[in-house]
């Protein structure tokens, strides 16, 4: 987009917005909205300011009663809402789907275009050059406002720490991000936006002078834990010391605790076994089965006295069948699997806390590391990982196979993208585990966004083996493990 083109468009839009159009079908509101979106596109794709577009947009914003700060690229949504708290309600659900009643409020669409432009520019116009802790914190705040605008839960489109998938961001068709009133089918933003936000956040973190930021407690306190930041901290932890290392550990601990809270809730919701009727029910009031007690004693009903005589009480069974299970989690810690490494380390610690579940954790790249002694503490486990490097699953298999003492009572979860050096040898070992009677669960992606790639060679062979690769949100893996361990 050239300055001449955008400038010409702005002048046309500006003049059309404030004069009587020659075309009787033209609507000045449409022209105003077009000016705002031309400015949005120019800001996104051309780093040089377009003076004519800026002046035209300023005239539109002031004319519709919105603060000029909306056009200030240095002003965050937070700062604008602090000065104009009445706008907070307008940002909430701003880009969420709306019922199509056939009517269009064109003046409202212009106002929405101005607010939408602010949210999108705050997130997607991330600039270039060195990033400070304050700039990263501001971007993360604006990303939070984008989630609110889409009707999502906090963190749902980034690290997924809020879990969910119930917000508008997961609504699929019908989302109209531009506020133009269109109600046609649009891309599923829950799939597109998380990947984009993750990439932008990762780029911002890489552009930070992270070591210098961590060495300053005030700057470090401005950092908000995210998957991208945790990845950088884990990669650089061996180069940190003193105050910087302490601040890095504090950030990792905060992130681990936040993710663990979400995953623990998911596990607790369905980690239940079948009722064990071989165990007599506890004869306490809370277990009293009142309906069954009345039904079984109906023969003792006295019509003359209108009274039911109860000679036996019935209680509900509450004991669940639990059998000792061995869970072996093998995680690829190469550079492409960081998200999975963090999530599965935390998940393993949660299952390790369940009664009668013996959890073992192995991480590998070209070397394998048995992290079982620290499996109850994901923070300590992550500090012992060494992210990056190649991938050789045979070294992990050498540690995993001896741990399978009772195949029928063992589940092996293998998390990797399966781009291996010794593909056929590794697959034969995996097939042998499956044939032994152990449950083998290959997992290609255990990410917050549910996105990832898997080696098609392995994918087809796992499918033929009857153990298809789980690929998607971490909730899928939680469900599989609950089913086996219940």
Q: For residues 312 and 297, is the Cβ–Cβ distance under 8 A?
A: yes
435: exposed, middle or buried (Cβ count in 10 Å: 0-12, 13-18, 19+): exposed
**What region, left, alpha or beta, does residue 295 occupy, with left being phi > 0 and alpha being psi -120 to 50 degrees?**
alpha
Q: What percentage of the chain carries pLDDT values higher than 90?
A: 17
* 128 CB-contact burial (10 Å; exposed 0-12 / middle 13-18 / buried 19+): exposed
pLDDT tens-digit profile of 97-136?
A: 766 666 778 888 899 999 999 989 888 888 888 888 778 8
- Residue 126 confidence (pLDDT): 82
Which tokens in the block code for residue 298? 């109906």
Mean pLDDT of the 132-159 span: 80
CA dist list (Å): 72 to 69, 151, 438: 5, 25, 60
Judge whether residue 468 has pLDDT over 80: yes
Mean pLDDT of 343-356: 81
What was the pLDDT predicted at 435? 95
Contact between residue 343 and residue 446 where contact means Cβ atoms under 8 Å apart: yes
For position 486, what pLDDT does the model report? 56
Q: Does 383 score more than 80 pLDDT?
A: yes
Of 313, 320, 315, 311, residue with least CA distance to 281: 315
Residue-range domain boundaries for the chain? 3-125, 204-255, 276-319, 325-485
Q: What is the pLDDT of residue 5?
A: 41
pLDDT at 328 (0 to 100): 93
Residue found under tokens 């932008």: 200
The residue that leads in pLDDT, 458 or 155, is 458
Q: Decide: 317 and 292 in contact? Cβ < 8 Å.
A: no
**CB atoms < 10 A from the CB of 438, how many?**
18
Q: Any idea how long the chain is?
A: 486
Residue 389 confidence class, pLDDT cut points 50, 70, 90:
low
CA distances from 253 to 69, 247, 342 (A): 37, 10, 12
Residue 187 has what pLDDT?
45
Report, as an integer, the average pLDDT of 193-213. Answer: 79
Contact 412, 438 (CB under 8 A): yes
Average pLDDT (400-419) is: 91
Q: Is the pLDDT of residue 480 over 90?
A: no
Task: Please tell me the least confidently modeled range out of 20-24, 259-263, 320-324, 335-339.
Answer: 20-24
pLDDT of residue 161: 43
Alpha helix segments (H runs only) across 65-209: 77-83, 88-91, 106-124, 133-149, 189-206
Q: Is the pLDDT of residue 448 over 60?
A: no
pTM of structure: 0.58
Angle at the Cα of 411 (from 467 to 276), degrees rounded to 5? Answer: 115
Q: What is the pLDDT of residues 321-344, one digit of tens each?
A: 545 588 899 988 876 666 777 878
Give 445's pLDDT tier (boundaries 50, 70, 90).
low
Q: Which of 459, 470, 186, 232 is nearest to 342 (CA)?
A: 232
The answer to whether 298 and 309 are in contact (CB under 8 A) is: no
Distance of CA 367 to the CA centre of its chain: 29
Mean pLDDT value across residues 345-369: 85
Pick 103 or 65 by higher pLDDT.
65
Question: Domain spanning 325-485: which superfamily?
Answer: von Willebrand factor, type A domain (3.40.50.410)
Give the containing element (helix H, strand E) for 370.
strand 368-370
pLDDT at 272 over 60: no
Residue 426: pLDDT band with limits 50, 70, 90: very high
Average model confidence (pLDDT) across the chain: 78
Angle at 390 between CA 235 and CA 434, to 5 degrees: 115
Q: Is residue 414 classed as helix, strand or coil in its secondary structure?
A: strand
pLDDT-based confidence at 275, cuts 50/70/90? low
């Amino acid at each position: 987009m050239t300055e001449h083109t955008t400038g010409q468009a702005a002048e046309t839009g500006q003049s059309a917005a404030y004069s009587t159009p020659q075309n009787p079908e033209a609507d000045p509101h449409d022209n105003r909205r077009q000016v705002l979106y031309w400015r949005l596109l120019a800001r996104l794709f051309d780093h040089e300011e377009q003076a004519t577009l800026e002046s035209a947009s300023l005239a539109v914003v002031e004319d519709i009663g919105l603060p000029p700060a909306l056009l200030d690229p240095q002003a965050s949504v937070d700062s604008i809402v602090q000065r104009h708290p009445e706008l907070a309600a307008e940002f909430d659900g701003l880009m969420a789907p709306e019922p199509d009643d056939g009517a269009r409020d064109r003046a409202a669409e212009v106002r929405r275009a101005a607010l939408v432009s602010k949210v999108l520019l705050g997130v997607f116009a991330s600039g270039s050059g060195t990033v400070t802790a304050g700039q990263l914190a501001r971007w993360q705040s604006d990303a939070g406002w984008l989630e609110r605008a889409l009707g999502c839960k906090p963190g749902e489109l980034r690290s997924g720490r809020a879990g969910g998938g119930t917000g508008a961001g997961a609504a699929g068709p019908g989302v109209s991000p531009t506020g133009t009133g269109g109600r046609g089918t649009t891309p599923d933003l829950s799939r597109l936006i998380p990947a984009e936000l993750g990439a932008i956040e990762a780029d911002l973190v890489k552009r930070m002078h992270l070591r210098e930021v961590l060495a300053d407690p005030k700057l470090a306190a401005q950092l908000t834990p995210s998957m991208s930041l945790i990845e950088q901290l884990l990669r650089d932890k061996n180069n940190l010391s003193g105050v910087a290392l302490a601040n890095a550990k504090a950030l990792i601990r905060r992130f681990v605790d936040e993710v663990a809270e979400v995953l623990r809730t998911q596990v607790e919701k369905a980690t239940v076994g079948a009722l064990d009727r071989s165990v007599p029910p506890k004869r306490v009031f809370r277990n009293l089965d009142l309906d069954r007690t009345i039904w079984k004693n109906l023969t003792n009903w006295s019509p003359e006295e209108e009274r039911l005589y109860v000679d036996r009480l019935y209680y509900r069974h509450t004991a669940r069948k639990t059998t000792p299970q061995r869970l072996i989690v093998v995680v690829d810690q190469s550079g492409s699997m960081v998200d999975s490494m963090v999530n599965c380390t935390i998940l393993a610690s949660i299952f390790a806390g369940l009664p009668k579940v013996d959890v073992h954790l192995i991480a590998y790249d070209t070397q394998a590391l048995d992290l079982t002694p620290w499996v109850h503490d994901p923070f300590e486990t992550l500090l012992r990982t060494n992210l990056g490097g190649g991938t050789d699953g045979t070294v992990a298999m050498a540690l995993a196979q001896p741990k399978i003492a009772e195949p029928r009572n063992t589940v092996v979860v293998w998390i990797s993208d399966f781009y291996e050096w010794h593909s056929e040898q590794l697959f034969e070992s995996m097939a042998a585990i499956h044939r032994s009677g152990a449950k083998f669960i290959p997992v290609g992606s255990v990410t917050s966004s549910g996105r990832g790639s898997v080696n098609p060679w392995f994918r087809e062979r796992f499918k033929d083996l009857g153990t298809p690769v789980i690929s998607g949100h971490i909730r899928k893996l939680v469900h599989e493990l609950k089913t086996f361990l219940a």
